[in-house]
Amino acid sequence: MKLPVRCLLPAIAALSLTLPAQAEPAMWEIRDGDSAIWLFGSFHLLPDGMTWRTERFDSVLKDADKIVFETDIGPMAMAEVGAAAFARGVYVDGTLLTDVIDDELEARLRAHAAAIELPLGPVLAMRPWMATNVITVAALAAEGFSEQGVEFALQPELAAERVAFLETGDQQINVLASAPEDEQIAMLASTLDQLDQLPKLMDKMLSSWADGTPERLSKMFLMEMGGFEEAFVERLIYARNRNWIAPLEGMLADNQENLVVVGAGHLIGEGSVLDLLEKAGYAIERIQ
């Protein structure tokens, strides 16, 4: 996933997958009477060669006025985001990561870094949120995963005039970089706790996504997020869900017929985008 957010919004990958013969990830139609938009939940990392597109999805993709993603992941945008993340994620006053974490957490960090052959020197110059992201990326890369998620498959094939975004890269960076230091440290500790079990959990999550059972995905997603601070989860998921409602309502008010692709975790459970739209009075129908 892209630096700095894709691995922690959340880190989604899979190993030794048992997937349905025909994947049909869930998709919903939202209507306000005379117009409609479609919401599709994505996985930001997918195994190489996985088939997830259906005839229904491709039909909606073809007919939609615009395809709306969380943020731009094109090469130029990613270069800018990477530079901004580095500027906000590295200590410039001589502080080291080991100065702000305790001995036990340092020992676990060193052990995990050694296990995945990640050079620790550069990591020690990073703030906890960025160190968390880097070690997650490295752990997934060690298992053979690359940035081949839904967005990476779709954006390059779309004309620029058909693409729109709900957030900027700076806004996504701010989800992590604005966290208080103690929250960042808790994020690092929780991530290290989960690294060994991540492939098994993501196997189950991806299978639930692919076979279109968001109710099972919701339970596993909450399990994955359980180790993070409540304030972080609020910023990561629920505040962003609320921020997206106004532009989605604007699309409906303007009679746009857009396909909106966001992380699957934003479309499951109480406080999700779908939940908020339903409470606002919009008609919602699952169409896949």
Q: What is the pLDDT of residue 232?
A: 82
More confident of the two residues 49 and 245:
245
For residue 167, which of 233, 239, 244, 238 has the smallest C-alpha distance? 244
Q: Is the pLDDT of residue 3 over 50?
A: no
Between CA 140 and CA 12 the distance in angstroms is 9
CA angle, 264 as apex, 126 and 220 as ends, to 5°? 80
For residue 174, which of 240, 267, 248 has the smallest C-alpha distance? 240
pLDDT band at 209 (very low <50, low <70, confident <90, very high): confident
**pLDDT tens profile 128-159:** 999 999 998 888 777 766 666 888 889 888 99
- Residue matched to tokens 């080291």: 96
| Single-letter code of the amino acid located at 138 | A
Element spanning 67, H or E: strand 67-69
Rounded to two decimals, the pTM is 0.84
For residue 287, which of 31, 32, 66 has the smallest C-alpha distance? 31
String of DSSP letters for 69-94: ESS--SHHHHHHHHHHHHHHHB-SSS
Q: Is the pLDDT of residue 33 over 60?
A: yes
String of DSSP letters for 93-131: SS--GGGTS-HHHHHHHHHHHHHTT--HHHHTTB-HHHH
283-286 β-sheet, strand order: 163-165, 67-69, 259-263, 36-42, 27-31, 283-286
Query: For 219-242, what is the mean pLDDT?
Result: 77
Between CA 156 and CA 138 the distance in angstroms is 25
- Residue matched to tokens 């590295």: 90
Mean pLDDT of the chain: 85
Tell me the two tokens of residue 4.
Answer: 């700095």
- Residue matched to tokens 């996933």: 1
For residue 73, which of 281, 253, 263 has the smallest C-alpha distance? 263
Q: What is the pLDDT of residue 222?
A: 64
Per mean pLDDT, which range of 35-39, 65-69, 231-235 is the poorest? Answer: 231-235
Between CA 196 and CA 143 the distance in angstroms is 11
pLDDT band at 225 (very low <50, low <70, confident <90, very high): low
Q: What is the pLDDT of residue 17?
A: 41
Question: How does DSSP classify residue 241?
Answer: H
**pLDDT tens profile 231-250:** 888 888 999 999 999 999 99
